[in-house]
Structure 1
Amino acid sequence: MSQTPPRIMPKPFNTAPQGLWRATPPAIFPPIMGLLGLGLAWRNAAKLFPSAPDWIGEMILGAVSLLYLFAVVAYLAKVVRRPSVVADDLRILPGRAGLSAGADAGFLFAAVLVPYSAGLARLVLVLSLIALTTVAGLTIRSFLIGPAEQRRVTPVWHLTFVGFILAPLSAVPLGYLGMSQFIFATTLPIAAAIWAISAMQFARADVPPPLRPLLAVHLAPVSLFGIVATLLGYTTLALAFAWIGLTALVVYLIGIRYLTKGDFSALWGAFTFPLAAFANLMFSAATLAPIPFRLVGGVELVGATLVIVFIAMKIMQLWTRGKLAKATNAATV
Structure 2
Amino acid sequence: MDAELTAASQAPAPKLVHFPVTFFAVVMGLAGLALATHRVELYFGAPATASLVLIAVAALAFVAIAALFVLKGLRHADALRAEWNHPVKIAFFPAITIGVLLISAGLLPVSQPLAHGLWVCAASVHLVVTLGVIAAWISHRTFEQAHLTPAWFIPAVGNVLVPIAGVRLGYLEVSWFFFSIGMLLWLVFLTLVFNRLIFHNPLPERLLPTLVILIAPPSAGFVAWLQINGGEIDGVARFLYYCALMFTLVTLTQVKKLLKLPFAMSWWAYSFPVAAFVIASALFADATGAAFQRVTMLVAYAVLWGVILLLLGKTFGAIRRDEICRPEG
| Smaller-chain TM-score bracket | 0.7 to 0.9
Structure 1: how far apart are the matches of 2:56 and 2:73?
Answer: 26
Counterpart check, 1:33 vs 2:28: yes
Query: Residue 238 of structure 2 corresponds to which residue in structure 1?
Result: 239
Percent of aligned positions that are identical:
22
Secondary structure at 1:90 match in 2 = helix
Contact 1:125 1:171 in 2 (8 A): yes
Task: Give the direction of change, closer, same or farther, for the CA distance of 1:216–1:139 in structure 2 (3 Å limit).
Answer: same
Aligned residues: 321
Post-superposition CA distance 1:58-99 (Å, at most 9, x none):
221112211111111221122234556443212336632442
Structure 2: how far apart are the matches of 1:312 and 1:98?
Answer: 20
Post-superposition CA distance 1:301-331 (Å, at most 9, x none):
01111112321442355457654221558xx
Q: Indicate the larger mover: 210-219 or 126-135.
A: 126-135
Q: Indicate the larger mover: 92-101 or 124-133.
A: 92-101
Structure 2: how far apart are the matches of 1:244 and 1:140?
Answer: 25
Contact 1:39 1:60 in 2 (8 A): yes
Task: Give the direction of change, closer, same or farther, for the CA distance of 1:273–1:316 in structure 2 (3 Å limit).
Answer: farther
Post-superposition CA distance 1:287-307 (Å, at most 9, x none):
222222122101210111111
Contact 1:279 1:301 in 2 (8 A): yes
- Which gives a bigger RCO, structure 1 or 2 (Cα 8 Å, sep 6+)? 1
Task: Give the direction of change, closer, same or farther, for the CA distance of 1:328–1:128 in structure 2 (3 Å limit).
Answer: farther
Q: Indicate the larger mover: 98-107 or 87-96.
A: 87-96
Matches within 5 A, 1:59-98: 59-81=53-75, 83=77, 85-92=79-86, 95-98=89-92
Post-superposition CA distance 1:198-235 (Å, at most 9, x none):
11222212333332211111110010011011112252
Structure 2: how far apart are the matches of 1:122 and 1:281?
Answer: 23
Q: Indicate the larger mover: 39-48 or 110-119.
A: 110-119
Residue identity in the other structure for 2:107? L
Counterpart check, 1:298 vs 2:286: no
Task: Give the drift of 1:38.
Answer: 0.5
Q: TM-score, normalised by structure 2?
A: 0.87
Q: Indicate the larger mover: 85-94 or 312-321.
A: 312-321
Structure 2: how far apart are the matches of 1:15 and 1:323?
Answer: 18
Matches within 5 A, 1:248-263: 248-263=247-262
Structure 1: how far apart are the matches of 2:312 and 2:238?
Answer: 30
Residue identity in the other structure for 1:193? V
Q: TM-score, normalised by structure 1?
A: 0.86
Structure 2: how far apart are the matches of 1:150 and 1:134?
Answer: 26
Counterpart check, 1:280 vs 2:274: no
User: Where does structure 1 lack aligned partners over 5 or more consecutive residues?
Assistant: 1-6
Post-superposition CA distance 1:232-278 (Å, at most 9, x none):
22521223222222232122112212344432222111111111111
Structure 2: how far apart are the matches of 1:8 and 1:303?
Answer: 53
Residue number among 196, 202, 205 corresponding to 1:201 in the alignment: 196
Post-superposition CA distance 1:120-165 (Å, at most 9, x none):
2222122222433343344345443544328843212211244211
Query: Residue 24 of structure 1 corresponds to which residue in structure 2?
Result: 19
Q: Indicate the larger mover: 74-83 or 105-114.
A: 74-83
Structure 2: how far apart are the matches of 1:243 and 1:56?
Answer: 29
Contact 2:221 2:240 in 1 (8 A): yes
Residue identity in the other structure for 1:105? G
Q: Indicate the larger mover: 79-88 or 123-132.
A: 79-88
Residue number among 218, 221, 230 corresponding to 2:217 in the alignment: 221
Task: Give the direction of change, closer, same or farther, for the CA distance of 1:182–1:77 in structure 2 (3 Å limit).
Answer: same
Contact 1:110 1:170 in 2 (8 A): yes
Structure 2: how far apart are the matches of 1:22 and 1:169?
Answer: 35
Task: Give the drift of 1:285.
Answer: 1.2
Task: Give the direction of change, closer, same or farther, for the CA distance of 1:266–1:97 in structure 2 (3 Å limit).
Answer: farther
Task: Give the drift of 1:184.
Answer: 1.6
Query: Residue 43 of structure 2 corresponds to which residue in structure 1?
Result: 48
Secondary structure at 1:167 match in 2 = helix
Structure 2: how far apart are the matches of 1:134 and 1:80?
Answer: 21
Query: Residue 164 of structure 2 corresponds to which residue in structure 1?
Result: 169
Secondary structure at 1:326 match in 2 = coil
Structure with max Cα Rg? 1
For the aligned residue pairs, the C-alpha RMSD in angstroms reads: 2.7
Structure 2: how far apart are the matches of 1:82 and 1:150?
Answer: 30
Task: Give the direction of change, closer, same or farther, for the CA distance of 1:181–1:37 in structure 2 (3 Å limit).
Answer: same
Residue identity in the other structure for 2:298? G
User: Where does structure 2 lack aligned partners over 5 or more consecutive residues?
Assistant: none
